[in-house]
Amino acid sequence: MPDAHRAVVLAGPTAVGKGTLAAHIREHQPDVWVSVSMTTRAPRPGEVDGVHYHFVSPAQFDDLVARGELLEWAVVHGRNRYGTPRQPVLDALAAGRMALLEIDLQGARQVRRTMPEALFVFLAPPSWEELVHRLVGRGTEDAAERERRLATAKVELAAQREFDVTIVNDDVRRAADELVHLMRTH
Ligand code: 5GP
């Protein structure tokens, strides 16, 4: 299949804006197929089952894992499980579509092992200060929680070197254009 697209995996540190970027592409780029993840977390207001996520119970998630139906999965933020259904990704690629997976770093590392031909894109903050600002916000967390988040962010930023390409999320529209251009040209 000489024209086959590679799956594109988008990951990056917490609070860098991966979800917003993926949502923007889902809304404005109909020729990009965006993977819909399974999650055990509860829907937030405005989230639609089957559009933003497939919301499942822990038992249903266990079942998907046991059947080997997930391309990757991880416990994110020590709380809920998230995973990418394998077959829809394979179907989208087989249909010649550009496929985007917005997942966390642990998930990206699993895809690196099982689908090494994918293109791995790291979404980086414009600066460390900006990431700190987005993470810590207006300082509603206590000092210990702030320290914990910043320590995690440092480790996550260091993962950049594991990726093929870095896109800086300075502006969601500009970053989306760069990502889609990358998908088209790869
Ligand atoms: P949220 O609960 O805010 O929608 O997402 C929390 C985190 O879960 C984000 O960092 C997002 O990248 C990650 N995530 C969403 N879907 C998946 C998935 O299918 N697999 C993995 N490994 N992480 C995911």
**pLDDT of the residue at 2:** 41
In a domain, 175, yes or no: yes
Given CA atoms 121, 107, 42, 68 in this order, what sign does their dihedral have?
A: positive
Checking if the pLDDT of 3 tops 60, the result is: no
| CA distance to 22, 36, 74, per residue, from 57 (Å) | 24, 16, 15
In a mutational test of the pocket of ligand 1, which residue from 61, 65, 103, 115 has the highest number of ligand atoms less than 8 Å from its CB? 103
Predicted confidence (pLDDT) per residue in 103-132, tens digit: 999 999 999 999 999 999 999 999 988 888
The Cα 32–Cα 145 span in angstroms is: 37
- Structural domain contains residue 1: no
Pairwise CA distance, residues 166 & 179, whole Å = 10
pLDDT tens digits for range 25-46:
999 999 999 999 999 999 999 9
**Average pLDDT over all residues of the chain:** 92
| pLDDT one-digit tens code per residue, 70-102 | 999 999 988 899 999 999 999 999 999 999 999
What is the 104 CA–ligand 1 centroid distance (Å)?
6
> How far is residue 184's CA from residue 134's CA, in Å, rounded to a whole number?
30
Percent of the chain at pLDDT above 70? Answer: 96
Quick one: pLDDT band at residue 4, thresholds 50, 70, 90?
low
pLDDT digits (tens, 9 = 90+) for 59-71: 999 999 999 999 9
Which pLDDT score is estimated for 138? 64
Residue 103 Cα to ligand 1 midpoint, Å, equals 5
Range of the domain at 128: 7-185
Whether the Cβ atoms of residue 19 and residue 102 lie closer than 8 Å to each other: yes
Q: Is 53 left (phi over 0), alpha (psi -120 to 50) or beta?
A: beta
* Nearest ligand 1 atom to alpha carbon 14: 10
Report how many domains make up the chain: 1
The whole-angstrom separation of Cα 134 and Cα 125 is 9
Please check whether residue 67 lies inside any domain of the structure: yes
What CATH number corresponds to the domain at position 51?
Answer: 3.40.50.300
Verify whether ligand 1 is closer than 6 Å to residue 24 (CB atom). no
- Give the model confidence (pLDDT) of 119-173 as tens digits: 999 999 999 888 888 888 766 778 888 888 888 889 999 999 999 999 999 999 9
Is residue 90 domain-resident? yes
**In whole angstroms, what is the distance from residue 102 CA to residue 72 CA?**
12
Please state the pTM of the whole predicted model.
Answer: 0.93
Residue 110 falls inside a structural domain:
yes
- Is 2 within the bounds of a domain? no
